[in-house]
Structure 1
Amino acid sequence: MIIGLGSDLCNIERIQNSLDRFGERFEQRVFTETERAKGNRRPFTKAGTLAKRFAAKEAFSKAVGTGFKAGVFMKDIGVVNAPSGKPTLALTGGAKARLDAMTPAGHVAHIHITLTDDHPWAQAFVVIEALPAPATGS
């Protein structure tokens, strides 16, 4: 069953302006080490790379129904990629606690995410699905 849905549209120029104005301070406050490393590996498209991740954080905060309050912080939500390149979210702190709290007993949360950008826009969609927990046998 779907227990959360969120989307966000982010202006890449807004992220570029924050990078130009605040630099490392902005990056440290908003992005995980993995996200910053990914952006740094893409110097010509760094703002777009980070804008997609910014949008993903916003979309997740909407999917869990809190926005960035109730202990959910941007750095608690990190976009990571599987070896195939498929994105997903790594959650810590308040973001993980909120997801755990909204997941029904006997279920496991599975996060689906899609990211895209076409300058000047970056977009993310997050769907949180609760799947029955696997049966444990002896």
Structure 2
Amino acid sequence: MIGIDIIQTARMDKMMQRFGEKGLKKFLSDEEIKLVKSYKTAAGFWATKEAFSKAIGTGIGTKCSFHDIQIYKTSKGAPKIALAKKIIKDFDILDVSLSITHDGEYAISVVALETISPTTNKIKQF
């Protein structure tokens, strides 16, 4: 399953100017906030969490919150996703791949999931 999201980084800049760290805490953990170097980084993290929630087919809400998804970086600086145990269990997730990119005033994230039980009806017939 694949999810994608795009955000205008200026939206994140305005949110951070208005609410500061309190605004970031609405969708990031303390560890994630330590990784945020600018509003563009924060925008990429927002897009990642939205992309993940789209990949599992729920969007952000009661079945998957922003805080069920955590972004961390490898020793080489590559972004990775960690998930709450309930998300892994509820959606049978085996693996997650992530790519974040920035272009001008946009941040884009793509998330691909590997699950234990793929959907049996892959293509709807008519």
CA distance in 2, matches of 1:86, 1:25: 26
- Percent of aligned pairs with the same residue? 28
Q: Pick from 67, 83, 86: which aligns with 2:78?
A: 86
Alignment TM-score, normalising by the size of structure 1: 0.77
Partner of 1:23: 20
Q: Pick from 66, 87, 94: which aligns with 1:98?
A: 87
Matched, 1:116 2:116: no
CA distance in 2, matches of 1:23, 1:81: 23
The answer to whether the 8 A contact 2:9-2:105 is kept is: yes
Partner of 2:41: 49
The answer to whether the 8 A contact 1:48-1:119 is kept is: no
RMSD: 1.8
In the alignment of these two chains, the number of paired residues is: 117
- In the TM superposition, residue 119 of structure 1 has moved relative to its aligned partner by 2.4
CA distance in 2, matches of 1:34, 1:119: 26
Q: Which runs of 4+ in 1 moved over 3 A?
A: none
- Gaps in structure 1 of 5+ consecutive residues: 133-138
Partner of 2:50: 58
- Gaps in structure 2 of 5+ consecutive residues: 118-126
